[in-house]
Structure 1
Amino acid sequence: MSSQDESSGQGGAGDAVPEQLALIRESVRKAKVPRAKPRTWRGAALAGELPVARVLVDKGVLHLDRYFDYAVPEELDADAQPGVRVRVRFGAGRGSVHGGRREGGGLISGFIVERLAGSDYGGPLAALAQVVSPERVLSPELLGLARAVADRYAGSLADVLQLAIPPRNGKAEQKPSPEPLPPPPRPEPGSWVRYGTGPAFLSALADGDAPRAVWNALPGPEWAEELARAVAATLSSGRGALVVVPDGRVAARVDAALTALLGAGRHALLTADAGPQKRYREWLAVRRGSVRAVVGTRAAMFAPVQDLGLVAIWDDGDGSHSEQHAPQPHTRDVLLLRAAHEKCGFLLGSWSCTVEAAQLVESGWALPLAADREQVRTTAPLVRTVGDGDLARDEAARAARLPTLAWQAVREGLKHGPVLVQVPRRGYVPRLACERCREPARCRHCAGPLEARDAGPLHCGWCGRDENDWHCAACGGFRLRAQIVGARRTAEELGRAFPAVPVRTSGRDQVLDTVPAAPALVVSTPGAEPVAEGGYAAALLLDGWAMLGRPDLRAGEEALRRWVGASALVRPQAAGGTVVVVAEPTLRPVQALVRWDPTGHAVRELAERAELGFPPVSRMAAVSGRFGAVEEFLRTAQLPPDAEVLGPVPLPVTDAGRPRRPGGPPPGEQWERALIRVPPGSGAALAAALKSAQAARLAKSGRGEGETVWIRVDPPDIG
């Protein structure tokens, strides 16, 4: 594992870690402002010492992303400490970027950032209206992290703090937190011995070091206990640990593993399912130092763990790790910021492997933590494939829509236990590919996906250029095909094929957590697969083209991640575990599944993206809005000299009645989007330029001039 030192940011994943450290240093620089002599307010008695409070108002707009100074009345002196929530007067008529409104204005919430002896504002200061609670919820460490996240994602500090600090609950604050427990004993390696450097990783954490690793977990249920042992090793060194997982079901498994290993009271569980009062009570226990370990979902990435020794994320490719509220940070990037800022250990674990994880290893910022091939073969199930050619020749497949090989695997598996059937959810949109070799059709200018909406001419979905003379760069073919959309094989159809077997479904309407070991067909959409007691006897992955054919840069990576996640729930090959995937066997993601080599797939994807200038090797931002607004925004933005603008191109119209996606057009409206790409090292400059341009535009919009646009830095979907 790679130890963290003073130069840990150098040589990080692309330009990610150096930029993160630069953002943190810049946030410290911004806080240093000249201070004038203290002022009084209308002759009222002010605090004798440090009579000025610098306040961050809860106003999440970019042109107000700064601090404001307020006078501290004598009666609020004791409670008005840095980190507490306050109410202040705020409105038009401010005389300075740091001066609070002198009189009038509405009450607005905020946080005291620091207490000062004076202010650089030239006029009388407005006084704090109220200290909401003496509880110090905003620590200097959390403030620095929030500022760095806001700068990285071209957002406002107030928006980040809304994500980081849960709403106040008075009853939770009144209840005292338990006394902190002494550090637990050093744990045994347990199943970490299956990985060559696993015991050394735990030992480094227990010794107080800061190892950094990308962990390719073996299939099976042991991963939760292995995460718990990493947390226990960190706690044994007297430090804190933070684990962020995709959803509440996964959090419950890690919670159970930690309780079994360490007992109750050692960690906090932060999930939305807990309810506001319980969640805030748990968060306060962490903030007060009563609890040193946290397991939670996305919002827990900001949990104020004291003396942090380890940050860990499980399954970083899951879309749940991408925040949908402004400024839309990703859990992985926030934890990278924390690892760099607080010089703590870092663990990225998954059954699969994202391109971002492969980049961390390739850059040397983190070291791989994986088992040898013999151990992988012992643990993984047998994977078999059914391609398009097999389906065409298979009479059973044409008649019953179930290939003979798949039908045999299901029949055999049902003799020994439950069988999982993964069905792609509705709504997967196909991309175009070469009819001969299935290579995705890409633009010759920017390598974006080619589209042909409503049987119209071929054009690029990124830069908008028409393509009138396309041919496949891989095989020279000239004919295109659209991939299969969605899944028509339902639980009812499987029930007719196997009438004596119970059929259970797990999906958007109802997600099952576990299923018994008895024979049954379990039909699930990707990500909703329940855990079977003792593992599934077999798994059937249907309609692979529905996932592989999405118009998304991550289509292959995401399909493999979904397949590996389902296959990891199947028993090992030695115990009869079999997986049948219905997809073209020659495709790279399918071959990676057969070999159980997601890391190799991610490494090859990373090399291709480096050649084409795709993220994460480059940094990218998406700007969307109504026609004309995007082009006007791009004209006013002072983009870096090496920035490349792709588009703008029209966005698909959202059907009426469907929810609006963040940054997407309202139902029925036609918007356009442009992509801005910069090489490594220019990501911070791009975010700063977009933030400055958006702040100026929002200021005009407030005066009835101009029209706002949406900005998303590092969009997860650029297809």
Structure 2
Amino acid sequence: MSSDDGQGGGGGGKVPPEQLALIRESVRDAKVPRAKPRTWRGAALAGELPVARVLVDKGVLHLDRYFDYAVPEELDADAQPGVRVRVRFGAGRHRVRGGRREGGGLIDGFLVERRAESDYAGPLAALAQVVSPERVLSEELLGLARAVADRYAGSLADVLQLAVPPRNARAEQRPSAAPLPPPPPPAAGSWERYAHGPAFVEALASGAAPRAVWNALPGPEWADELARAVAATLASGHGALVVLPDGRTVARVDAALTALLGEGRHAVLTADAGPEKRYRQWLAVRRGAVHAVIGTRAAMFAPVQDLGLVALWDDGDDSHSEPHAPQPHAREVLLLRAAQDRCGFLLGGWSCTVEAAQLVETGWARPLVAVRDRVRTAAPLVRTVGDGDLARDEAARAARLPTLAWQAVREGLRSGPVLVQVPRRGYVPRMACAACRAPARCRHCAGPLEAPDAAALTCGWCGRPEEKWHCPECGGFRLRAQVVGARRTAEELGRAFPAVPVRTSGREQVLDTVPGTPALVVSTPGAEPVAEGGYAAALLLDGWAMLGRPDLRAGEDALRRWIGAAALVRPQTVGGTVVVVAEPTLRPVQALVRWDPVGHAVRELGERAELGFPPVSRMAAVSGAPDAVSAFLAAVELPAEAEVLGPVPLPVTSAGRPRRVGAPPPGERWERALVRVPPGSGAALAAALKAAQAARTARGASASGEAGAGAVRVRVDPPDIG
């Protein structure tokens, strides 16, 4: 270890021979007999390859490199590449052991490589411990983690914390079952509904690597179709990986795979399984006992051997974006894996994101869609209700349900359950002018006004009460709720239909399924339960609130959430009807009426190309205290073609309220700047931001994941740039 910082040696140039005399003496040809054992600082060393290159578990950017340690003879057999180790790191403490001083406390790490010599000039500390002889870090996983770290301007140690689950000794001690032979190729099944569906399954079964963007037809068949794609890949002798947004979708694909292939053919990786079971399943995959994996976000790093297919369902779902540093998105990780392993790729969903449209537009992937006649047959009938209809129907306006919506509910309840989607949870969170719908804001800080009870308005930012509000836009004095949540909506519907059961699905309790009997099911987006036999009808309320968000993805996200709910409704051939309460002329509403999410995504992609917005360009967000952001932007060496937008103030988070990922600490005023580069410069942008952040952390400044006045957070490809 070096004398100045007490840590293991890093990379560098060749060391003068006189400084490596002891190492050279210890690593001479093992076949040469020696009278004395080879030693290093008084301890016997491994006979061959006595230097271990270790990645220490330090997520700070200026330490994002390997460190060299000597391998004691007693650890030689277990100290193999890929195992977990513990080493001494840092100069804060020193201990005397075996007649020599050793610096720093013990820290976890991964042994990456065994070498004959070290490039480090000073003496090396010895490995303190091999935690387990289980080789959990393969070369493929290490290469993937490095690629993800470089793409997102993060550290390799942070990525490996996401990729390798914590150790469980009891799970390691249990042997994995022997791998099963490949299954026979499956039939195309419901893939026949798509123009090139059978050909895609046949290509996977033959060992080819097709790449497709799949616009799934509405209905429950998507889970079986994913299972058949996995089965076809297994039949070719290759492995398969499917990443899904939540535990409910994982359970559906799990059931479909079990029904198709039986038990023991796939592993399920979700947090709900618990640490021991999840690690046991992960080890079975790492050891090659299982060749297929389905799971939620963390499964994107699953060490599937001989990978033949990576698949992602509903890539627009927020849950695919990792909240922990360096905050990778599952879609981008799977794209890296497809390129690294040269395997098949399937991006599927009922809707279509702009990123998916770009993959087809560039020719990297092929579209996998059904013909229009098949789409019209499978989709429900979609009817629209605009603001003009609400204005002419004052009685229905008070309950947010115009006449058309009431009729759809009454008719639907005659034959089955009716789904009611509301955009937010809870009771009346924000207020707006009843006349022009301009958001009601505080006179002091411009924060949003809220009504926690019927008597008083308060600011959601500064907490000041507002007693005499009037609209600065039109002069009106009447307020209305911007969004009325699920519980309030359920109460209103319960009073209107007293003989009908009302169920809610949201944050407090998310329902998985509901019976096919008449009932009202009020749900927030993404929490809609599946109805047996499909819903008879669906109401999509407060569409203007979803479309009015100040976000580049507002239209795309609203359409995705609407289609996700409408896909659970019966086809129009058997009376399935969807009513959307939103301005009928808006593009997302028209795309829903025509059931054309692909066309909407293609038009959005064209507009973003004209404006230079992602995904056509690459973008990064730099946020923090104003002085810290200014200093960071002044120090970073951005590519010549980079453009800095901002900085602009971020909303202040009130104390005691939930804080979104990347939001400032409660009460602190932060700014955010966006840095944009054209295609082809994303790697240079990430490298520049990483170097600047590493320089800050080396000087002792706050890291990107810490709070404080000097903190600067850097996020590549931020999902929200509104």
TM-score exceeds 0.5: yes
**SS of residue matched to 1:92:** strand
User: Which residue identity does 2:242 align to in structure 1?
Assistant: V
Aligned equivalents of 2:663 and 2:600: distance in 1? 31
- Corresponding position of 1:24: none
| 1:136-160 Cα shifts (integer Å, max 9, x gaps) | 0000000000000000000000000
User: Which residue identity does 1:717 align to in structure 2?
Assistant: D
Counterparts of 1:275-286 in structure 2, within 5 Å, are 275-286=274-285
- Corresponding position of 2:385: 386
| 1:32-65 Cα shifts (integer Å, max 9, x gaps) | 9868754653121100000000000001100000
- Corresponding position of 2:721: 718
Q: How far apart are residue 403 of structure 1 and its match?
A: 0.8
| 1:445-499 Cα shifts (integer Å, max 9, x gaps) | xxxxxx99646999xxxxxxxxxxxxxxxxxxx9999997222552111000100
Contact 2:307-2:341 within 8 A present in 1 as well: yes
Aligned equivalents of 1:286 and 1:480: distance in 2? 65
- Corresponding position of 1:614: 613
- Unpaired runs of 5+ residues, structure 1, are 1-29, 95-100, 442-450, 459-477
User: Which residue identity does 2:247 align to in structure 1?
Assistant: G
- Corresponding position of 2:537: 538
**SS of residue matched to 2:131:** strand
**SS of residue matched to 2:648:** strand
- Corresponding position of 1:486: 483
Counterparts of 1:252-651 in structure 2, within 5 Å, are 252-426=251-425, 454=442, 485-487=482-484, 489-651=488-650
- Corresponding position of 1:6: none
| 1:393-423 Cα shifts (integer Å, max 9, x gaps) | 1244135432110000000000000000001
Contact 1:244-1:301 within 8 A present in 2 as well: yes
- Unpaired runs of 5+ residues, structure 2, are 1-9, 27-38, 94-99, 447-472
| 1:163-207 Cα shifts (integer Å, max 9, x gaps) | 000000000000000000000000000000000000000011011
Q: 1:77 to 1:374 in 2, by over 3 A?
A: same
Contact 1:620-1:675 within 8 A present in 2 as well: yes
| 1:509-533 Cα shifts (integer Å, max 9, x gaps) | 0000000011000000000000000
Q: 1:34 to 1:317 in 2, by over 3 A?
A: farther
The structure having more radius of gyration, on CA atoms, is 2
| 1:267-326 Cα shifts (integer Å, max 9, x gaps) | 000000000000000000000000000000000000000000000000000000000000
Counterparts of 1:15-94 in structure 2, within 5 Å, are 37-38=23-24, 41-92=40-91
Aligned equivalents of 1:587 and 1:75: distance in 2? 71
Aligned equivalents of 1:452 and 1:715: distance in 2? 28
Q: How far apart are residue 659 of structure 1 and its match?
A: 3.4
Contact 1:622-1:712 within 8 A present in 2 as well: yes
Aligned residues: 653
Q: 1:268 to 1:480 in 2, by over 3 A?
A: farther
Contact 1:697-1:706 within 8 A present in 2 as well: no
Aligned equivalents of 1:584 and 1:674: distance in 2? 33
Aligned equivalents of 2:522 and 2:671: distance in 1? 38
- Corresponding position of 1:191: 190
Q: How far apart are residue 93 of structure 1 and its match?
A: 8.6
| 1:362-412 Cα shifts (integer Å, max 9, x gaps) | 000000000000000000000000000011112441354321100000000
| 1:613-644 Cα shifts (integer Å, max 9, x gaps) | 11110111011111200000000000011111
Q: 1:32 to 1:263 in 2, by over 3 A?
A: farther
**SS of residue matched to 1:103:** strand
- Corresponding position of 2:228: 229
Q: 1:598 to 1:431 in 2, by over 3 A?
A: farther
Q: 1:640 to 1:521 in 2, by over 3 A?
A: same
Aligned equivalents of 1:34 and 1:92: distance in 2? 25
- Corresponding position of 1:707: 710
User: Which residue identity does 1:120 align to in structure 2?
Assistant: D
- Corresponding position of 1:244: 243
- Corresponding position of 1:20: none
Contact 2:424-2:484 within 8 A present in 1 as well: yes
Aligned equivalents of 2:297 and 2:70: distance in 1? 37
Q: Structure 1 length as normaliser, TM-score?
A: 0.87
Q: How far apart are residue 233 of structure 1 and its match?
A: 0.3
Aligned equivalents of 1:457 and 1:81: distance in 2? 59
Aligned equivalents of 1:414 and 1:313: distance in 2? 35
- Corresponding position of 1:474: none
Aligned equivalents of 2:425 and 2:306: distance in 1? 45
- Corresponding position of 2:145: 146
Q: Structure 2 length as normaliser, TM-score?
A: 0.87
| 1:52-94 Cα shifts (integer Å, max 9, x gaps) | 0000000110000000000000000000000000000000399
Aligned equivalents of 1:512 and 1:418: distance in 2? 14
Aligned equivalents of 1:289 and 1:509: distance in 2? 39
Aligned equivalents of 1:431 and 1:314: distance in 2? 35
- Corresponding position of 1:472: none
Aligned equivalents of 2:211 and 2:513: distance in 1? 33
Q: How far apart are residue 117 of structure 1 and its match?
A: 0.5
Aligned equivalents of 1:693 and 1:618: distance in 2? 21
User: Which residue identity does 1:487 align to in structure 2?
Assistant: V
Q: 1:480 to 1:552 in 2, by over 3 A?
A: farther
Contact 2:214-2:348 within 8 A present in 1 as well: yes
Q: 1:484 to 1:621 in 2, by over 3 A?
A: farther
Contact 1:85-1:132 within 8 A present in 2 as well: yes
Q: How far apart are residue 430 of structure 1 and its match?
A: 9.4
Contact 2:391-2:397 within 8 A present in 1 as well: yes
**Which stretch has the larger CA shift, 396-405 or 319-328?**
396-405
Aligned equivalents of 2:443 and 2:187: distance in 1? 62
**Which stretch has the larger CA shift, 700-709 or 163-172?**
700-709
Aligned equivalents of 1:617 and 1:512: distance in 2? 38
